[in-house]
């Protein structure tokens, strides 16, 4: 299935049904009077976050969604039928933006969360509604109110606990394949990862987290170089970033600074997130090269540097044990902030 994380769609809620003009004409009832019913309500257009989806590809080919008009009223004071809602099922983590692509309408960041993005019109009043003591035979009925219509943008930001960042060929896909059941493309040339990948990392029977791998960044990515920074939105929700550095290159400290500059250029708080730095591909380094590059990298990042090999698994458990406490603390903080669920 092709990955698509952004789509523009047009939505139109249903118009309200029309009220009608009708009068009672029954035997033995001398003054029948008005009995025209009201129109029914038009259908809403609703967006709902559902599990099991991780792409917006369905909205590449279907871009127009229209709810049905409410039923017209009828005699005998019968109200028209209300129309069914149209529900757009989107992946968890989808943001709904106005046509300007900046105004946030809703953030569907939990399964089952839904929002009305176009409200159906109310039905018009029939002539029975306008009957008064001085106007006993009104000949007025209203048309239904029009439903809302608008263009919206759907933007997917994947829900993951930890995010992988680094230059192309830093070994991110190899690491993801080593710690999860994900099978990303792995090759010895840059930009083998063309779209984000998710993998579930299981530490034991009760502890697990979701790890996201995004395409590699290069210098100038926030200005559009390479694949640009369009995929960085998928790690905005992560609790911690795992920064992988290719240990076989001559200047790992320079590689670290390049990625940090791109994260800062992108903004959205990515540079403020907790960061674990790991020097990858230790299996391809001599002991002397490893010692000097670790020291240079520690000076650049101002903290401890883990040494790993995604290919052989060396040091990988230590990285996972370092990541999970940060993830667990973030989960507990979210649980404290979220309101308690209401029980009937």
Known binding-site residues for GTP equal 166-173, 191-195, 213-216, 280-283, 309-311
CB count in 10 Å sphere of residue 134 = 5
Give the DSSP letter of residue 163. Answer: E
Coil, strand, or helix at residue 222? helix
Report CA-CA distances (Å) from 29 to 21, 78, 205, 302, 342. Answer: 19, 19, 77, 93, 52
Annotated binding site for Mg(2+): 173, 193
Nearest alpha carbon to residue 139 among 16, 25, 36, 32:
36
* CA–CA distance, 68 with 155 (Å, rounded to integer): 26
DSSP 51-97: TT----THHHH--EEEPPPPPP-BTTTBPPPPPPPEEEEEETTEEEE
* CA–CA distance, 18 with 329 (Å, rounded to integer): 56
DSSP 319-337: HHHHHHHHHHHHHHHHHHH
CB count in 10 Å sphere of residue 7 = 21
Q: Given the DSSP bridges, would you call strands 86-91 and 45-50 parallel, antiparallel or unpaired? A: parallel
* CA–CA distance, 324 with 204 (Å, rounded to integer): 12
Coil, strand, or helix at residue 156? strand
Annotated binding site: 166-173, 191-195, 213-216, 280-283, 309-311
Euclidean distance between the first and final Cα of the chain, in Å? 40
């Amino acid at each position: 299935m092709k990955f698509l994380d952004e789509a523009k769609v047009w939505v139109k809620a249903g118009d309200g049904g029309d009220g009608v003009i009708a009068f009672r004409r029954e035997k033995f009832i001398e003054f029948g009077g008005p009995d025209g019913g009201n129109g029914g309500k038009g259908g809403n257009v609703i967006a709902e976050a559902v599990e099991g989806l991780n792409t917006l590809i369905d909205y590449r080919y279907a871009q127009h969604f229209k709810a049905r008009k409410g039923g017209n009223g009828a005699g005998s004071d019968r109200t028209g039928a209300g129309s069914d809602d149209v529900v757009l099922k989107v992946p968890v983590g989808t943001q709904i933006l106005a046509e300007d692509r900046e105004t946030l309408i809703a953030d569907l960041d939990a399964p089952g969360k839904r929002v009305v993005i176009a409200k159906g019109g109310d039905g018009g009043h029939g002539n029975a509604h306008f009957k008064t003591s001085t106007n006993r035979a009104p000949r007025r009925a209203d048309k239904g109110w029009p439903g809302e219509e608008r263009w919206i943008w759907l933007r997917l930001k994947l829900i993951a606990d930890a995010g992988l960042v680094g230059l192309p060929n830093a070994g991110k896909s190899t690491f993801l394949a080593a710690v999860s059941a994900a099978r990303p493309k792995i090759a010895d040339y840059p930009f083998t990862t063309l779209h984000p990948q998710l993998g579930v990392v299981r530490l034991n029977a009760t502890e697990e987290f979701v790890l996201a791998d995004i395409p590699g960044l290069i210098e100038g990515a926030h200005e559009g170089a390479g694949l640009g920074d369009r995929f960085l939105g998928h790690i905005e929700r992560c609790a911690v970033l795992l920064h992988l550095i290719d240990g076989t290159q001559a200047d790992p400290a320079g590689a670290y600074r390049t990625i940090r500059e791109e994260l800062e250029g992108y903004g959205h708080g990515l540079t403020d997130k907790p960061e674990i730095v790991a020097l990858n591909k230790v299996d391809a380094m001599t002991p002397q090269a490893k010692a000097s590059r670790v020291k240079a990298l520690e000076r650049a990042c101002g903290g401890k540097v883990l040494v790993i090999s995604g290919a052989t698994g060396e040091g990988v458990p230590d990285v996972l044990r370092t990541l999970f406490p940060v993830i667990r603390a973030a989960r507990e903080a979210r649980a404290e902030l979220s309101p308690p669920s209401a029980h009937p």
